[in-house]
Amino acid sequence: MQQSRQRRRLVQQEPLPAVQANAVTQSAADSLVMRKRKVRRSADLVRAITQVDVTTDPAAQRELMEWIEGAYAERGSGVLIGLFSHCYLGHPYVDHQLDLSGRIITHFTASDTVPPGFDLARPLARSTAYAFIEVYGDGQVVPVRNDGTSAI
């Protein structure tokens, strides 16, 4: 009888407090998101992102941006607030921001100030090593190479 009670006590564990359980769950979710950010982007996604800037038809550009937004939603790599990259329009523009939430492209000259969060991406966009830089809502900036691999 004594041994059976002792077993029950060992089997019955104290539940984690709700705050601690949420922290553990959140930590696991954050870890999964970070792993997904390291996964190679598809050639189609890289091509679409690099084509947005040179697409002149507004309807085609909007469609491309919607496709890009959907592709990132499927990736499940966190809240992407936008992309930043080198601009190929020529002088005076040096880089541009793709804001997925508003589906807007903003071009910047060298003397322009970029929005908060994107300022960390700006020096990386000047490098030819990266096709674009992802800027996430949690503040992480992920440079992406032309082959779709991340630099994190």
Write down the domain spans for the chain: 34-144
Residue 7 pLDDT > 60, yes or no? no
Q: Where are the beta strands (DSSP E) in the chain?
A: 80-86, 93-99, 104-109, 132-136, 141-144
Predicted pLDDT of residue 128:
87
pLDDT tens for residues 23-50?
545 676 688 889 999 999 999 999 999 8
Cβ-in-10-Å burial (0-12, 13-18, 19+) of 149 comes to middle
pLDDT tens for residues 53-89?
788 898 998 899 899 999 999 998 999 999 999 988 8
Distance CA 138, CA 16 (A): 27
Quote the pTM value: 0.78
pLDDT tens for residues 107-138?
999 999 999 889 999 999 988 899 999 999 99
